Amino acid sequence: MVALTEKTKKRLTIQTGEIAHQTMTIRSMDWDRDRFDIEFGLQNGTTYNSFIIRGEQTALVDSSHEKFRQLFLDTLKGLIDPTEIDYLIISHTEPDHSGLVKDILQLAPEITVVGSKVAIQFLENMVHGSFKRRIVKNGDRLDLGNGHELEFVIAPNLHWPDTMFTFDHKTQILFTCDAFGMHYCSDSTFDEDLKTIEADFQYYYECLMAPNARSVLSALKRMDELGKIGMIATGHGPLLYHNLEELTGRYRTWSKTQAKAETSVGVFYISDYGYSYPLAQAIASGITKTGVAVELIDLRGPLDLQELRELVGRCAGIVIGMPPTAESENIQPALSTILGSVHEKQAVGVFEAGGGDDEPTYPVLTKFRNLGLIQAFSAIQIKETPGEATYKLCEEAGTDLGQLVTRDRSIKNMKSLGNDLDKALGRISGGLYIITAKKGDISSAMLASWVSQASFQPLGISIAVAKDRAIESLMQVGDRFVLNVLEEGNYQRLMKHFLKRFAPGADRFEGVRTQPAENGSPILTDALAYMECEVVSRMDGGDHWIVYSTVYAGRVSKPDALTAVHHRKVGNHY
């Protein structure tokens, strides 16, 4: 058996260092952060990066997660007397970067907090006390002296509504917090080794930024106006310096592709209420897997009702996160506008936010159905703190909605081909396999026939997995799974079971005999053989991921039996 990737022990450490003239970083390193947010798929931990810029005045850019309270504050005090900090710049108010704002203000009550209008509003609820503030708009500047003139770039939705970037004209560093980040924890402060980080960089983009592709393009445009950017100091993972152009170029390319999608869906959430935003994000992530663009809209944010009307009119579907009952009056104009702008045949889905005071979903759904909309998934109910299973359910619900709104196009594409080339391609045959995977609390399975041995040394296989498959999220680099081989003459029952359309979050293994492999994934007892595999890399193959994996264990139950083979007629669909 080949040794598996070693996992680091759980630990929290701090790294500090000078990244440019008069500019320090404090990186809170969370080596083994639990995977409870959808974007933590690659399980390489994360970092929360904070920065100190010293001109004649001093600014602290972002803080850290509250789990670093003692470590971060001790480190900060070792570097600077907190009362010497003049400004605390808030890139956005999510708790992994703003979790210690209150503590810092207690240490140094004279600090002026700098943020976008929305950020300062959110902070008022977080800090519960008065504090000096400076609300900034796009293009506003703050001169710290010694040449450190800071310029603010408002970048809403990257990935919170209140996000802004900060550009230091002296060092040419752009502080972007979540944008251009990745969940990757290592001792490297910078991005010198592109190969080791690119999978995490892309996965993070797909989860957090792809649903906001249009906002990414707007932010890139604003960045172009800043002049030369020498470094991007992100809030998560290594800072971009060695591969800055390459990696920002990838954001541009991916976002252009995403924004060009023919079909889009509006996903409405309520910021700062229950789990509305992360649930919306999980649904959005599932939708984008189908090649459909998403517009994530905060129902609490400043909304132009005319723009909202146009947006709803052009969307193929909408998803609504329920607002709190207590606030329904404020949200009502937006909800009425949505209801007044929808049209027949649009897809609709609703979800609770789990904030403890959610409006009921049933009346809203009924209104939409009465207007002729098609319900894409059952209303998502949130009874307790969402965990992996709930986020996965949301992602799968989003994928169902995406598939529904592209169904006609998929059928048309299928019919438009069928020429000689397709028939020739159909003569490529493959075996029949079931891939099974378990990661944390979630498990999944899919029938596969595009499987091939790909290397001897190491023993490796390639599998093509459609991008909108639920199991795709469990087949990220470093994930482990089982490849079950079906037996000729004895595969119909298993094939039929796994070809079924499962509801979001449904248990794929109900009624199927399994036993756990060493890697935790289910082995199908009735399979002819199985192999335990670990994903090494993924290549973009258009509408599929080509997943290359090493194989490190396996058994055959009937040495003389043959593998089931799948013969097709055409090669333009399964």
Residues near ligand FEO, by CB under 6 A: 92, 94, 96-97, 159-160, 178, 235-236
CB contact at 8 A, 486 and 564: yes
State the minimum distance, in angstroms, from the CB of residue 455 to ligand FEO.
37
Shortest distance in whole angstroms from residue 275 CB to ligand FEO: 14
Cβ proximity to ligand FEO: between 183 and 439 the closer is 183
- 8 A C-beta contact, residue 94 and residue 65: no
Q: Closest approach of Cβ 209 to ligand FEO, in Å?
A: 11
Which CB sits closer to ligand FEO, 97 or 469?
97
* DSSP run (H or E) holding 127: helix 117-127
* In the complex, least distance from residue 127 CB atom to ligand FEO, rounded to whole angstroms: 18
What is the rounded CA–CA span in Å between residue 162 and residue 113? 14
Shortest CB 155 distance to ligand FEO, Å: 12
DSSP per residue, 214-226: HHHHHHHHHHHTT
Spell out the alpha helix ranges (H) of 467-547: 492-499
CB of 269 or CB of 377, closer to ligand FEO: 269
The distance of closest approach from Cβ of residue 263 to ligand FEO in the complex, given in angstroms and rounded to an integer, is 27
> Measured from the CB atom, is 102 or 309 closer to ligand FEO?
102
Q: Give the shortest CB-517-to-ligand FEO separation in angstroms.
A: 34
Q: Which is nearer to ligand FEO, 133 or 159 (CB)?
A: 159
Is the four-CA dihedral 320, 322, 327, 328 of positive or negative sign?
positive
**Cα dihedral value 138, 144, 146, 148, nearest 10:** -30
Residue nearest to ligand FEO (CB): 94
> Which CB sits closer to ligand FEO, 92 or 438?
92
Which of these, 290, 289, 342, lies nearest to 319 by C-alpha position? 342
Closer CB to ligand FEO, 159 or 300, in the complex: 159
Mention every residue, 6+ apart, whose C-beta is less than 8 A from residue 549.
Answer: 460, 461, 462, 463, 481, 533, 534, 535, 536
Q: Which two tokens stand for residue 461?
A: 């296989």
β-strand partners of 462: 452, 548
The answer to whether the Cα torsion of 90, 95, 101, 104 is positive or negative is negative
